[in-house]
Structure 1
Amino acid sequence: MAERKDKKKVIGEPMTDEQIKVFLDVPSEEGVSSDFHTLEKAYRALRAEDFGRFIGFFKAQGRDLNARDPEGRTLLAHIADHKKCEEYADLLREAGGTA
């Protein structure tokens, strides 16, 4: 079915704060820092603008933006070679994330 030219394609509705905060409670996998796991799950699931809001909630809880995975990498280092991650990487850097 062809898209009508008078209709704008909607990628997704803006998420509410409550929908974003759900990612703060993601249980971690055994052997993985809960803060790293939470950050990674949010990175993989949220659009950049929502991820930026998530980071604010994450930091407000006093959580570690530079938590490391089992290989010793922060999320910023982990995503460095991902295509189209620059906006996410910028958000992490602005919030105090390091590689």
Structure 2
Amino acid sequence: MRKDKEKVIGEPMTDEQVAVFLQARPYADESPDLHVLTRAYRGLRVEDFERFVVMFKAAGFDLNATDAQGNTFLQTVKTHAQGNDYVAVLEAAGAR
């Protein structure tokens, strides 16, 4: 990137924009809880994901739901090279 160009990430998301991720629904037999978490993880910056996790838990979703192989979302994110900040958010919220 040129020195005179500043990286633009975008405007901070509102709570309403973050909450939209709670409406995601799975396409097949996937766990609704895991699907919602995955969509938010892929679409939100870590600071927005942190707010999302609070909303997710308040809505009654399970932070420790497992996939077909028995892995929690936290276990999956721990395998991602760039997932450390998200892991910290999940662990702080009680994910196992």
TM-score (norm. length: structure 1):
0.89
Aligned equivalents of 2:8, 2:75: Cα separation in 1? 32
Gaps of 5+ in 1: none
How far is 1:60 from its partner? 0.8
How far is 1:3 from its partner? 4.9
The runs of at least 4 aligned residues of structure 1 exceeding 4 Å deviation read: none
- Residue 16 of structure 2 corresponds to 18
How far is 1:57 from its partner? 0.4
- Residue 44 of structure 2 corresponds to 46
Number of residue equivalences: 96
How far is 1:4 from its partner? 6.6
Identity across the alignment (%)? 48
Equivalent position to 2:35, from 34, 37, 54 = 37
Larger radius of gyration: 1
Gaps of 5+ in 2: none
**Native 8 Å contact 1:31 1:70 kept in 2:** no
